[in-house]
Structure 1
């Protein structure tokens, strides 16, 4: 009899976490040992993407985690089964903890946590501690869970993975332009303000002489207007394009350099791995989770978190040193072998087996 996995994600967007659920569901569907279903809101992009790929889906009604229709659908699906409910975002973690407490032990509960913030007080933190196991997508996140009271034997590290075959190599242009790219939701923790201030340093020539350059920001979110205002203050509004949400697989081959200036909360950055897959030199802030991926001057450059001057100098260095870029790109390709969707799914399957023995 196969082992049944319910992959629950209540997000209404398609970001890195939702892509990880999709990759995992694909690999589980290929295994005769497991059955799985992707449970997500009826109109969520993840649900449609899974259905289009022929994966089993469980549409959930309503837009709120605690909508009675969502509860009813999940309770009906779980009833009478011995299975694993695997939650993949903060809202589904709370709902999963509640369902787990009413299953009489038949439903095992696994949370994946993708951000490195300390757990909050009250229910927002306790819902993670109620799980049979918690996966941190970086060692930093796993340590946060242990520091918050989760027994060490219940905490696991499984880095996110990507399917590198879906990415096309960087486009080689002959026009002499330098394109500096950034990908991420327009939210504070992604460090867009650090990036724009670094562009200001480049514009003023403080980091050295560059060829003609432009910057492209991929992502949507609440900081759109403040970023445009900051770009005007820095004098770079004519050199910077905010392109909204776009498929990174389409846009990143047009970059020459990838900047990842996250200031806090980062997990296992999919953007860094995507940059490696495309063949871009990557420069990232030295957050602990980023440094689990980036080895300075081997597969990327690291700069002091929040230091826009250091980011500008790093970009200028990449722009002027083709040998360094080639070395970092080669190191990134080699590192990517450690962070594939296949390796990620294999680690989850081993954890599932241990929870269902």
Structure 2
């Protein structure tokens, strides 16, 4: 396999733009980040392949913005695998497609049981694709040649994979469904802004006591600030389990914190003053958190039977009906309709319950036209029948 050259200059990048434009067909795109190593989710390598143009490996930190390339190929079809994982970091450097073909999502819509790139390539193209470098630190410079070979192969196979999957979509009558889903991916908000992001701390549900929770919050915020400053993954500084242990133990001195066996990590001792200051802030603050996070989230379904038995009955009946439909269409249930959408409509159904009002409710929650057409009548019937006593008819649903 020939050595791959990483393009890390503006002149090299602009020359590559001209070559990519001269090619034909869709543009295969992939991006590598340094998740688990860096704080940011920026792209540290962007790979492109186009028939008639070849393979291009770009170094985004060195190049900066990709506006010229985006202008040149914006309206062409871009082929990605699991597009939602890459669109955010691509947009950060100015790469924002108008049309995509997501081979991972398409594989889900075809009912394939495993949709990882290596598995799908092997099943449809008969090529074994090793994935040993997928979790590597792509901020490493220079990038090792085996990593570059791996990264190049990821995009070089995508156009052939796209064509094979597209043929299957046409044969299954799912081409329009796929295009609706691809278009939705481009309009979806990919970054979820949480009201209280510190509640993502692993093990936080095991912390008892509001003051302990305040300490956990201050430790998380302090670690997050340091991680952002150093561009390091927070867990590499101090693991979540260490923060949780400190919040539970509530050490009464800096020495007690240092001697806490569970308080580990490369910055647990070198930044001891920082962590102790966070604990003291949590001990003394008047801004105490509530035990549960705020927001418009629904109760977990397991609690519905007690808190809203009618909604529980609606949800179970609708899920049963949709499972049958999903099986008939060879679709995962979550792709037929997202669990969150079904839960919200079941919790607060439209009145009166008809296929038309259910369709409106689904539309308000972002369901695509094909999902609404396929599920609204099934859901409406299930909702009505869930509250009827035996012997009653279901005339409300036509």
Sort the TM-score into its range (normalised by shorter chain): under 0.3
Q: Between Structure 1 and Structure 2, which shows a larger proportion of helix residues?
A: 2
Q: Answer 1 or 2: higher relative contact order, Cα 8 Å, separation at least 6.
A: 1
> TM-score by structure 2 length?
0.25
Relative to its length, the structure with more strand (as a share) is 1
